[in-house]
Amino acid sequence: MRLRPLLFLALALAPAAAHAQTTEMESARAQAMGGAFRALCFDNSAVDLNPAGLAQFKKVEIEPGYFRSSDGREYAMGFSLADSLTNVTGTGMAYEYRKVKPDATGAGGLESQRYALAVGFPVVPDQAWLGMSTKYFKFDYVDPTVRDKKGWTADIGLLYRPMNWLATGATFDNLINGNQAEAPRGLTGGVAVLPAEWVAASADVFTDLASTNQDKTGWALGAQLSPTRQVALRGGLYREAVSGKQFWTGGIGLISENGTIDYSARMPDGGSSKALSHFVTVSLLVF
């Protein structure tokens, strides 16, 4: 099979970061690599990042996750399920609850819930895949002067692997109701290089088409080293599209035949350890 040399990476690569921004549901694997995951999407984060990735491998995977900032101001809980074993396509669902406490001035507090359903299917066997997703979101703001938002939207994704060591991905995000901060319409392109089973490097570039800000293009870089089949070390850097803020990311994965435990940390560029955010996901391979 064309993709057999990448089977280990499917388990070892893979919590909220990029367009690389916190409005998206990712795994700790993806966040540890700066969110540069559109061309990889080997795990359940494909549901939200690039639904085309759901159909790459035959498996059923469950993934719960927990995110928390060091100052305790923000936390999130999520759950996802992906199935590419019982049908010719890959299907998946994801849910996330997030809460942000108001800052010292009383601003910024919110509670949000996000639901996603996605499907991916092969266009060219073992080489090209197409995917679609639909998402419902609900944001409740503490500040009564800020209008609460809810609605639904949809994404389209493409994944192309012209050769074993090279992968490219692209998504058109939030096609419907995309002119808002909670679900901004955008375009993302990504590329990943996988020269060996123990190393991978990836990069994404994304544009927020909903923003009127002149500086609305961001990027993400990530890499992984697997010194053994049981351990994966990851690192990354990303720049938000609208705010221009940069974040460093890093993490580790402990790998077994039945799944992985992944941890990632995120810190603003120039920040201190008090600004760290932590994310843990557990991936369980059911079949």
The model's pLDDT over 150-174, given as tens digits with 9 standing for 90+, comes to 999 999 999 999 999 999 999 999 9
pLDDT > 90 fraction of the chain, expressed in percent and rounded: 70
The model's pLDDT over 175-223, given as tens digits with 9 standing for 90+, comes to 998 888 888 899 999 999 999 989 999 999 999 888 776 568 999 999 9
Report the alpha-carbon distance of residue 174 to residue 147 in Å, rounded. Answer: 20
| pLDDT at site 105 | 85
| pLDDT at site 2 | 34
Q: Residue 32 belongs to what H/E stretch?
A: helix 28-32
Is pLDDT above 80 for 18?
A: no
Closest among 135, 64, 139 to 99, alpha carbons compared: 139
Is pLDDT above 60 for 130?
A: yes
pTM for the model = 0.87
Report the alpha-carbon distance of residue 225 to residue 238 in Å, rounded. Answer: 19
Q: Residue 76 belongs to what H/E stretch?
A: strand 74-83
Residue type (1 letter), 121: F
Q: What angle do CA 116, 206, 101 make, to 5 degrees?
A: 60
The single-letter DSSP state of residue 5 is G
| pLDDT at site 16 | 35
Whether the Cβ atoms of residue 247 and residue 269 lie closer than 8 Å to each other = yes
The more confident residue out of 180 and 284 is 284
Helix (H, G, I), strand (E, B) or coil at 187: strand
Q: Summarize the confidence of residues 6-13 as an average pLDDT.
A: 33
> Which residues share a beta bridge with 134?
117, 154
Is pLDDT above 90 for 25?
A: no
| pLDDT at site 11 | 32
The model's pLDDT over 243-282, given as tens digits with 9 standing for 90+, comes to 889 999 999 999 999 999 999 999 999 877 778 999 999 9
| pLDDT at site 213 | 63
Lowest mean pLDDT among 50-59, 114-123, 208-217, 272-281: 208-217
Q: Residue 12 belongs to what H/E stretch?
A: helix 7-12
The more confident residue out of 5 and 72 is 72
Report the alpha-carbon distance of residue 121 to residue 9 in Å, rounded. Answer: 20
Whether the Cβ atoms of residue 25 and residue 51 lie closer than 8 Å to each other = no
- With cut-offs at 50, 70 and 90, classify the pLDDT of residue 58: confident
Lowest mean pLDDT among 46-60, 65-79, 200-214: 200-214
Is pLDDT above 60 for 15?
A: no
Q: What's the mean per-residue pLDDT of the chain? A: 88
Domain locations in the chain as residue ranges? 4-285
Q: At the fourth CATH level, which superfamily is domain 4-285?
A: Outer membrane protein transport protein (OMPP1/FadL/TodX) (2.40.160.60)
| pLDDT at site 201 | 98
Whether the Cβ atoms of residue 271 and residue 23 lie closer than 8 Å to each other = no
| pLDDT at site 272 | 74
Is pLDDT above 90 for 22?
A: no
Closest among 128, 175, 186 to 152, alpha carbons compared: 175
Closest among 27, 77, 79 to 53, alpha carbons compared: 27
| pLDDT at site 215 | 64
| pLDDT at site 234 | 98
Report the alpha-carbon distance of residue 248 to residue 33 in Å, rounded. Answer: 9
* Separation of CA 4 from chain center: 23
